[in-house]
């Protein structure tokens, strides 16, 4: 009986944990979607014309590299989550803990490489072009 009560209680917590932030941060007004995207990194990076709005070849290449690094960063963050989950759920199993630790370590190294790559591209773009990134 207590296991059933715990399951129901956990289900209620998960439900409110998912729905409450959506209610708290709900946007009001007719242009709520555009308000939410106005400060977005993708909108500010590529503008309303996307990649076609690039003025020069250097700017186009910089935007393409930035977009690829954005996707690589998202994938690396997913691997950080996967590695952390594997490590936490290893339950004392040394093989599973080592697998999770390796995944987590490699994902963090990937995030560092992506951040350094973005920094290098930013510096090179500012030196070669007129700072369009």
pTM, to two decimals: 0.56
Helix intervals (H) in the chain? 2-24, 32-37, 41-46, 57-88, 94-128
- All structural domains of the chain with their residue ranges: 1-38, 41-133
Number of neighbours of residue 83 by Cβ within 10 angstroms: 20
Q: What does the pLDDT look like over 68-92, one tens digit per residue?
A: 888 888 899 899 899 888 989 988 8
Q: What does the pLDDT look like over 13-51, one tens digit per residue?
A: 667 666 666 555 555 555 445 545 455 555 555 555 565
């Amino acid at each position: 009986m207590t296991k059933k009560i715990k399951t129901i209680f956990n289900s209620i917590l998960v439900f409110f944990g998912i729905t409450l932030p959506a209610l708290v941060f709900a946007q009001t007004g007719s242009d709520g979607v555009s308000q939410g995207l106005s400060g977005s990194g993708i909108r500010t990076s590529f503008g309303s014309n996307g990649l076609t709005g690039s003025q020069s070849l250097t700017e186009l290449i910089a935007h393409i590299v930035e977009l690829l690094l954005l996707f690589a960063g998202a994938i690396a963050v997913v691997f950080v989550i996967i590695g952390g989950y594997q490590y936490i759920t290893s339950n004392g199993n040394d093989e599973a803990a080592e697998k999770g630790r390796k995944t987590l370590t490699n994902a963090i190294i990937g995030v560092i490489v992506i951040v350094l790559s973005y920094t290098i591209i930013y510096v090179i773009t500012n030196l070669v072009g007129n700072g369009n990134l």
